[in-house]
Amino acid sequence: MIKPDGVQRGLVGEIISRFERRGLKLVAIKVESPSKEHLEKHYSDLASKPFFPSLIKYMTSGPVVAMVWEGRGAASLGRQLLGQTNPTASAPGTIRGDFCIDMGSNLIHGSDSQESAQKEIDLWFPNGVTEYQLDSAKWVYEQ
């Protein structure tokens, strides 16, 4: 998910492009201003953290772009593309390492496992994703 700062800073195309170029397949995407309740559900595992109220404020400060990307090892690949939670610890070449500085404005969220991805897909895309064959996959994966 591209967070409100990523949308406002005009980084949607750049971020999508990095996922595409890596070889991942886009199967769902939408622009949305999620409610506080929706985000509290999304980040329910962090509810006891001291930064939780500021996280919810940040995440409701503007629209986000929610996406589902498929591919072999997509969750861990996605996290590599993102960089570390703290942008100052993120290597150049990662999205956070290239475009941001602050943990409270770190541009993008990525599911941390296949299981959390499934939960988040159910939350953000209750009508499911679009299944199709990506023709370039035969050039991305060894045949």
Binding site for ligand ATP (CB under 6 A): 46, 51, 55, 85, 103-104, 106, 109-110, 112
Kindly list the catalytic residues: 109
- Residue with CB nearest ligand ATP? 85
Instruction: Enter the DSSP assignment of 32.
Output: E
Q: Are 44 and 3 in contact (CB under 8 A)?
A: no
Q: Is 79 annotated as a binding residue?
A: yes
Show the tokens assigned to 68.
């589902």
Q: Are 34 and 43 in contact (CB under 8 A)?
A: no
Q: Is 9 annotated as a binding residue?
A: no
Q: Are 68 and 25 in contact (CB under 8 A)?
A: no
Closer residue to ligand ATP in complex, CB, 84/134: 84
CB of 135 to ligand ATP, least distance (A): 30
Q: Are 135 and 141 in contact (CB under 8 A)?
A: no
Q: Is 51 annotated as a binding residue?
A: yes
CB of 124 to ligand ATP, least distance (A): 13
What angle (nearest 5°) sits at the alpha carbon of residue 87, between those of residues 62 and 41? 45
Tell me the residue type at 119: K
Q: Is 3 annotated as a binding residue?
A: yes
CB of 94 to ligand ATP, least distance (A): 12
**Binding residue positions:** 3, 51, 79, 85, 96, 106
**Binding residue positions for ATP:** 3, 51, 79, 85, 96, 106
